[in-house]
Structure 1
Amino acid sequence: MSSDILRALTVSTAMSFFVCPDALAQSAPAREAESRTSSEEEGESPAPGGVTQLDTVVVVDVGAGANATAGADLITIDQEEIDRKKPQDLREVFSGEPQIAVGGAIPSTQKIYVNGVDENNLAVTVDGSRQNNKVFHHNGTYLLDPALLKAASVQAGVAPADAGPAALAGSLGFETKDAVDLLEPGRNFGGFVTGIWDTNSETFTTGVSAFGQQNGFEYLGYINYGHGGNFTSGNGDEMLGTGTDLISGLGKIAYEAVDGHRFELSHEQVRDNALRPYRANVYINRGAEPEVRNYDLQRQNTVFTYTDTTPEGWWDPKIVFAYSRTQIGTLETDRFDPDIVSPTEGATSSFNGKVENRFALDMGSVTAGFDFYNDKADLDYKNATAPFFTDERATNVGAYAQARLEPFDRARISFGGRADHQWFTGVDGTEWKNAGISGNISGEYDLLPEFLTVKAGTSHVWGAVPLAENYLQNPLWTYGGGPEPVTSNNYTAGLEARYNGFTFEANVFRTDISDARLPVFGRGAPVPELTSIRTLDLVSKGWEIGGRYDWDAGFVSVKYADIDADVDDVPADSEIGRYLTTPLGQIIMIGAGYTFDDWGLKVGGDVEIALAYDGTMVRHPTDPTSAKKELPGYEVVNAFLEWTPPSRPNFTLRADALNIFDENYTDRAAYGQDFDGVMPHYDPGRSFRLSATARF
C-alpha cells in the first residue's frame, strides 16, 4: 500500500470522527469531574449491567523486570509523561534526563547511555524479555517504536538481583501497552487512528489500533507505518540516508480467570528498511565503498507471562518465557573493487525466561527464583569466492533472591544476591564454563520525614562472557586460555528534599567495569595469532543535581549532569568506547508544561544544553590515525501545543516545534564526531510536527 493511500485513509478516518459528533457522542466518555458516582469516589466504577466493578490496578515493573529497590537511583518515564511528550524516538522518551544520553540522529542508529555507560552493560528487557541486540556497532541496539510504550524505567548503577544476569551498570526496562491501558472507563471495546506529518523530512506516519476485553479475555492489535525522505540539518545540508521506511506492530492476548490466574501472550515486531550511510551512524569515505547502502533492520519480541493478580500471603508467582531476535541485512562492498559485493546478514537471538515468587512479610517482601538465557550471535558473509558463516553462543542459568524491607518507619533497605553459571561456545567450537556471584545492598533513610531523604547503594556484579558483535566475527579467531568474565562494582549516593511542590535531588555515582570484552575483526591483537580476546577497563563517574516544582496545572524542572568516563585510565572517545561508553561531559536539561483544563489545552517545551568538552583530545593506542577534536557545545529548544476540544474529547490535535532556532549540531552521545576526517551525522534542523488522533 502506497504512502499516499495510507495518508488519505488516515486523514479521512480521523476527520470523520471530528465532523461526526453523533459518533463521538456514542463513544466519548463524560468528563471525569462530571461523571463520578458515589461508588467511584470510593475507588470503584460502574460496569455494564449495573454491576459495581473495582478500578483496574496496573502494576508496572520498574527496572529490567524487577520492582524498584530502596535507595536506588531510579528514573521512571510513566504513561502520563509519555502521553505528554508523544515521543517519536528513544531520545524523546528520555528527554529531560541528563543522566540518560541517547546518541544517533535516526531511530535505527540510536544507542542509550546511562551514567555514561552503554546499554549493552545493563540488564535490558522489553515486557520482561531479555534483549540480546549487539549486531553492528554502527547501528542502534533497540529499534523500538515509542508509540507502543506504556513505561520505561532505569535503575542506574545498582540493580537488584531479580533484574536479571549481567546488570553490570544497572537495569533498563521497557513495557508496552495493554488493552486496559487504552480502554475508556466503562467500555469493553475501543480503538484509535493517528496521523503525524514532519515538515523537515516530509515524513508521514500513521497508526491504527483496536482493543477490548470480554469475559476475562483481553486483546490488542496495533500497526504503525512511517515513510518519508531525508532531513536537512541546521546548516541546510541534506543528510543522505536519513529517510524513513518503518513499520511496527504489537499484538497481545490475555485471559484472567475469576480466581486471579492471568495468562498473557504478546508479540512485537519492528522493521526499518531504507538507504543509510555506508556506516549507518557516520559518514566515512573509504575507497570504492558507496556513500549509502540499504539496511534491512528487523527486531521481534515474543513473551508469555503468567501471574496471579490475587496473591495471598507467600503465594505471588510470576513465570516468563520469551524469545527475542534482531537482525541486519546489508551489502558489503570491497574497498578497492566496487564490483565485489557480498550480501551479509548478522543476527542475535535470545530464548530466555524466569520463574519466581514474591514472599510477603510483615516488614516487606522477599523475591526469589531462577532465570535462564540461551543467546546466539551469528554472521553469514556470502562472498562469491570466500564466504564464511560464524556464530558464538552462550547459555546461562542463575538463581537469585532480593529482599525489600522496611525495618522501621523512617528506613527502607534492599539487599540481595545471585549465582550464575555460564557455558560459552566460540566461533571455533571451543567451550568454556564460568561461574560467579553477584550482590547488592541499598537503602534510604528519612532524615526529616516527608521532607528530606538520604539514600545510597553499592553492588558487585559478575557478568559472564558477553557475545561478540556479529559484524566483527572472524572464523579464524582463537581464544587462547579462554575469555575472561566481565565484572563490575557500582556506587551511588543521593539526597532528596521535598517541600510544598518543590523537589530537589542530588546524586553521585561511579561504575567500575573490569575485563570488558571488545573484540576486533583482526587488528590490535594482544598476541601474535588472530585472537578474539581483548579486554578493557572502564570507569564512569559523575554527579547530577536537579530541581522541580509541581502545581495543579503544570511543572518546571531543571537538571544538570557532569559525566566523565575513562577507558584503561585514559579519557574515553567514541571509538575506544564502542559497547562501553561515549564522551558526554556536562549536560543541562530544562522542561516545563502547563494544562488549561477548561480549554482542553496543553503547552510545554524543553531545552537541551551541552557544554563544550575537550576530554576527547587524548589518543588511545588503537584509535584511527585521524586527528582528534573537542566536542562543541550546543543548545536545542523544542516546544509543543496540544488541544483536545472539550466538545469532542475523543479527538486531539498537536503541534511540535523542534529545534526552533535551527541549531546545527550532533547530539552529544553520537558516534565519530570527535575525529577529523569524519563527517558528523548531524541531527535534524528546524522542523514542525503536526499530528491528529481520533479515538473511538
Structure 2
Amino acid sequence: MASTFHRALFVSTALALLASASHGYAQALDEDDQVLPVVDDAGLPADDGSTLLPQLDVGAGAESSAGTNLITVTQDDLERNQPTDLQEVFSGEPAIAVGGAISGTQKIYVNGVDENNLAVTVDGSRQNNKVFHHNGTYLLDPALLKAVTVQPGVAPADAGPGALAGSMGFETVDAIDLLEPGRDFGGFVTGTYDTDSETYKTGLSLYGIKDGFEYLGYINYANGGNFTAGNGVEMVGTGTDLISGLGKVAYETVTGHRFELSHEQVRDDELRPYRANFYLNVGAEPVLRQYALDRQNTVFTYTTVAPAGLWDPKIVLAYSRTQVETPVYNRSTGDILAPAIGATSSFNGKIENRFAIDLGTITAGVDFFNDSAKLDYADAAFPEFPREHSSNVGAYAQARLDPTDRVRLSFGGRVDHHWFTGADDSDFTNAGVSANASAEYDLVPDFLTAKAGVSRVWAGVPLAENFIQNPAWDYGDGPLPVTSVNLTAGLEMRYEGWTVEAGVFQSDIENARSPAYGRSPYDPATTANRTFDMRSWGWELGVGYDWDAGFVRAKYADVSADVDGMPADSEIGRYLTTPLGGIIMVTAGYRFHDLGLTVGADAEFGLENSRTAIDTGDPDDVRLPLPSYEVFNAFVEYTPPKMENLTLRAEVRNIFNEAYTSRASYGQEFDGVVPHLEPGRTFRFNARLKF
C-alpha cells in the first residue's frame, strides 16, 4: 500500500527523469549545431530540408488519429453560431448530445457515453468534475472558447489516461487569435439580450503582443430571470447569475521556445430546483435552494513553435478544481441542517516529445494525475467528511504513419500504474495496459476512403461522486479497475464540395464503478464497489455541400445503450449513459460578402424512442417512451462594410414555440418526475465592437 508521499515521489521521479532526458537531447542538438527551421515572411518553412508538421489537437493536446472519427468545432463555427451554452456549441452534431436546460446542469454524451468516461481536457489540463449528480459534470462559458475537438470511441494513447470511450479537448482563445493583422494591441466589448428570460450578458476583453510577450484578459457576466417553456409555463429556478473570466500570459523567444500560463474560471450562483436538473420535492423540502457552482483551471505549457526533426517537446503542468455548495434541509421541518460542499480537483501534467520520421511521427512521453473528491457536511447531528483519492502515472507512445499515398495508420499503447484511497483510508494499487490501432485506406483516391479503429482501454478505479460518498463504506477487497473495448468503422466520400459519411460504433465498458450511498436496504460493504457493465452502439449518416459563400449539412445518429444487459435509463446510467435513440440535425448558412450579411438556420429532430418503455414488474415504476420533438432556429448577422469592427446579430430560437425536453436530459422516461422543458420562442440580440 503506497502512501501519499510515495506517490508524490514516484510522480516527481518520473517527471525528473524525462525532463533530464529532454534537456540532454536539447544539449546534443546545440553541440551538433542543429538550428531551428527558417521561416519566410508568411510564416511558412523555408526550403532548408526541415518541415513544420500540421497538428490538430485532440483531448489532452494529442494529435488526431487517422482511421477514427473526428468531430471538430472550429473558431469559425463558434463565431458563426455565437453559442451561449454547451448545447449550442455542439449544434449540428447529433452524435454529441447535451442534456440540461441550464448551463449548471448540462451533461455531454458522446455516442451515448457520459463524458466522465472520456479523457476530457481544457487547454491540456485534465478535468475531474464528478461533483453532484444533480449538476452538470462540466460548467463552461462558450465565450471563452477557440475550438473543441472530440474523438469518439477510439482515442490515441497520448490523449491521456481514462479514455474509456474517446477523448474531448476544449481550447480557449489566445491573443493571436483575436488581434487584427498588423496590430499589437486590441480589444472588444460585447452585449447580448435574450427576450424570453430577460437575460443580458456583457463581455470585455483586452489583449496584445509586445517584444515576444503576449497577454489576454477576458471577463464575461450574465444575469437574468427564469425562462418560459413553449407551453407557456415558467420554469422556476432557471435564472442566470454567471461570471466567467480568462487570463493568459505568454513569452516566445526568438528561437521559438514558448512559455504560457493561463487561468480560466466560471461561477454560477443562483436559485435552482431542489434537485437542480428536474422538479421533485420530498416532505418539507423547499421548491428552490441556492446552488453555487465554481470551476477553475490553471495551466502552464511549454512548447516550441519551430520544431525540427526529432525535437518537438511539450510540457504541461495543470491544476483544475470544481466545487458545488448547496444547503441541505430537514425533510420534516424544512429547517436548514447545514451546507454541503463538494469539491473535486486534479493536479496533472505530462512531458512528451514528438519525433518526426520519414513515414510520419511518433509521440512518446509520461503523464500523471493526482485527483481527489471530498464532501464537507457539518450537520451537528450527523456530520460527514468523506474523501477519496486516486493517483496515476503512465507512459505512452503513439505512431502516426503514412506508409503509402493511399494508406494512413495510427497505433500506440500506454502502461498505467494507479493508486486509490477510499473514504475509510484503505489503499489499493493496480496497473494495466491500453492499446489502440486505426487505419484509413483510399479506396478511390480523392473520392472514397474507408476507415476503422479498435481500442482496449484500462482506466484504473474512478472516484465516486462527492455527494454519494459515505464515510461508513467498507471497500473489502477494493473496487475493480474499469476497462473498455471500442470499435469504429466508416466510409467517407468527397466530391466537388459534396461530403457523404457513414459509420458504425460500439463501446463496451466493464466494471464501470457506480457507487450508492448505502442507506437501507443497501449494504455499505457492497455499495462502495458497485459496478455495471455498459454497452453503447449505433450508427450515423451525414451529407453536406459546401461552396464559397455557404453550406448545408444534415446528420443523423441512432444511439442505443444497455446497462447490465437491460435498456439504459437516465437513473441507472448516471455517469455512464442515457437513452437517446434517433436524432437528426440540419444546419445551413450563407454569406453575402459584398453586403457584409450572413444568414443561417438549424433544426433538430428528436425521434420517438420507445426503447425506454420497459415493464419493470413494479406497478409503481412506470416507464415512458421518449416523445418526438422538432426545433427550428435562425439568425441574421450584419457587419457594415464601412465599419468592419462592428457586428450586429439577431436570432430567433425555437421559432415554433415547441414544448420539449432535450433528448439527453434527466428523468423524462419516469412517470411522476417533472423534467425541465427547454426555453420557448426567444429573440436574442447581440452587438460586438472591436477596438
Per the normalisation by structure 1, the TM-score is 0.91
Tell me, in whole angstroms, the C-alpha distance in 1 between the residues paired with 2:410 and 2:520: 43
Q: Counterpart in 1 of 2:425? A: 429
Instruction: Tell me, yes or no, if structure 1 residue 391 matches structure 2 residue 376.
Output: no
1:673 to 668, 671, 676: 668
1:553 to 541, 549, 552: 549
Give the match's secondary structure for 1:412: strand
1:593 alignment partner in structure 2? 589
Matched, 1:61 2:50: no
Deviations 1:544-576 (A, max 9, x none): 000000011000001111100000000001111
Given that residues 59 and 124 in structure 2 are in contact (C-alpha distance below 8 angstroms), is that contact kept between their aligned partners in structure 1? no
Aligned partner of 1:282 in structure 2 is 278
- Is 2:129 the counterpart of 1:130? no
| Shift of residue 376, structure 1, vs aligned partner | 0.2
Q: How many residues are paired up?
A: 645
1: distance between equivalents of 2:311 and 2:111? 37
Is 385-394 or 242-251 further displaced after alignment? 385-394
Gap regions ≥5 residues in structure 2: 1-39, 44-51
Q: How big is the alpha-carbon RMSD for the aligned residues of Structure 1 and Structure 2? A: 1.7
Quick one: which of 617, 636, 639 aligns to 1:641? 636
Conserved in 1, the CA contact under 8 Å of 2:219 and 2:244? Answer: yes
1:153 Cα deviation (Å)? 0.6
Deviation at 1:614, TM superposition (A): 1.1
Give distance in 1, aligned partners of 2:660 and 2:437: 41
Partner of residue 328, structure 1: 324
The CA deviation at 1:366 is: 0.2
> CA 1:459–1:552 in 2, change beyond 3 Å: closer, same or farther?
same
Aligned to 1:8: none
Q: Give 1:60 shift.
A: 4.9
Aligned partners of 2:456, 2:521: CA distance in 1, in Å?
A: 29
CA distance in 2, matches of 1:524, 1:407: 60
1:376 matched to 2:369: no
How many angstroms does 1:59 deviate by? Answer: 5.5
Deviation readout 1:572-609 (Å, 9 max, x if unpaired)? 01111100000000000001000000000000010000
In structure 2, the residue matched to 1:37 is none
Cα distance in 2 between the residues matched to 1:336 and 1:460:
50
Equivalent residue number for residue 110 of structure 2: 114
| Structure 2 Cα separation of the partners of residues 43 and 446 of structure 1 | 35
SS of the residue 2:58 aligns to? coil
> Counterparts of 1:248 and 1:686 in 2: how far apart (Å)?
26
Aligned to 1:653: 648
Question: Partner residue of 2:407?
Answer: 411
- Give the deviation of 1:61 after TM superposition: 1.5
1:483-494 to structure 2, matched below 5 A, reads: 483-494=479-490
Which stretch has the larger CA shift, 366-375 or 527-536?
Answer: 527-536
Are residues 1:291 and 2:298 paired? no
SS in 2 for 1:388: coil
Deviations 1:388-420 (A, max 9, x none): 211000000000000000001100000000000
Residue 218 of structure 2 aligns with which residue?
222
Match of 1:305 among 301, 305, 330: 301
Aligned runs of 1:86-101 on 2, under 5 Å?
Answer: 86-101=82-97
Q: Does 1:630 align with 2:628?
A: no
Q: CA deviation at 1:625?
A: 4.4
- Which position in structure 1 is the counterpart of 2:42? 44
Tell me which residue corresponds to 1:31: none
Alpha-carbon distance in structure 2 between the residues aligned to 1:534 and 1:528: 10
Equivalent-residue separation in structure 1 for 2:604 and 2:410 (angstroms):
34
**Cα displacement (A) at 1:123:** 0.2
Query: Shift of the alpha carbon at 1:65?
Result: 2.1
Matching residue within 675, 678, 693 for 2:688? 693
Q: Provide the C-alpha distance between the structure 1 equivalents of 2:326 and 2:56, rounded to a whole number of angstroms.
A: 38
Counterpart Cα distance in 1 of 2:398 and 2:303: 18
The Cα offsets for residues 310-344 of structure 1, whole Å up to 9 and x where unpaired, read as 11111100000000000000001122221242211
- Secondary structure of the residue aligned to 1:668 is coil
Report the CA distance shift for 1:60/1:491 in structure 2 as closer, same or farther (over 3 A). Answer: closer
**Shift in Å, 1:232:** 0.2
1:433–1:161 distance in 2 versus 1, CA, 3 Å:
same
Correspondences of 1:183-262 after superposition (within 5 Å): 183-262=179-258
The 8 Å contact of residues 525 and 531 in structure 1, kept in 2 or not, is answered as no
Shift in CA distance, 270/58, structure 1 to aligned 2, threshold 3 Å: farther
Residue pair 2:248, 2:260 contacting (<8 A) in 1 also: yes
Query: Offset of 1:524 from its aligned partner?
Result: 7.9
SS at match of 2:120: strand
Does structure 2 retain, via aligned residues, the 8 Å contact 1:62–1:76?
no
- Structure 2 residue 443 is matched with structure 1 residue 443: no
Aligned partner letter, 2:495 = Y
User: Do the aligned partners of 1:117 and 1:581 also contact (CA within 8 Å) in 2?
Assistant: yes
The separation in 2 between residues aligned to 1:528 and 1:557, in whole angstroms, is 51
The reply to whether residue 76 of structure 1 matches residue 52 of structure 2 is no
**In structure 2, what is the Cα distance between the partners aligned to 1:158 and 1:431?**
31
CA contact (8 A) 1:491 1:511 kept: yes
Q: SS in structure 2 opposite 1:120?
A: helix
- For residue 286 of structure 1, report the CA deviation from its aligned partner: 1.1
> Take 1:632 and 1:685, find their aligned partners in 2: how far apart are those partners?
17
In 2, Cα distance between the equivalents of 1:633 and 1:534? 34
Question: Displacement, 1:384?
Answer: 2.1
Q: Specify the code of the residue in structure 2 equivalent to 1:688.
A: F
- The superposition leaves residues 72-99 of structure 1 with CA deviations (integer Å, 9 ceiling, x where unpaired) of 1110001111111111001100000000
Change (3 A) 1:133 1:672: same
Aligned residue identity for 1:270: V
Question: Identity over aligned residues, as a percent?
Answer: 66
Please state if 1:104 is matched with 2:67. no
Mapped to 1, the partners of 2:619 and 2:78 lie a distance apart of 40
1:210 aligned counterpart, secondary structure: strand
Deviation for aligned residue 1:505:
0.2
Paired amino acid for 2:684: R
SS for the counterpart of 2:278 is: coil
**Shift in CA distance, 392/624, structure 1 to aligned 2, threshold 3 Å:** farther
Q: 2: distance between equivalents of 1:478 and 1:278?
A: 30
Give the aligned residue type for 2:638. W
The 1:624–1:427 alpha-carbon spacing in structure 2 relative to 1, beyond 3 Å, is farther
Is structure 2 residue 566 aligned with structure 1 residue 534? no
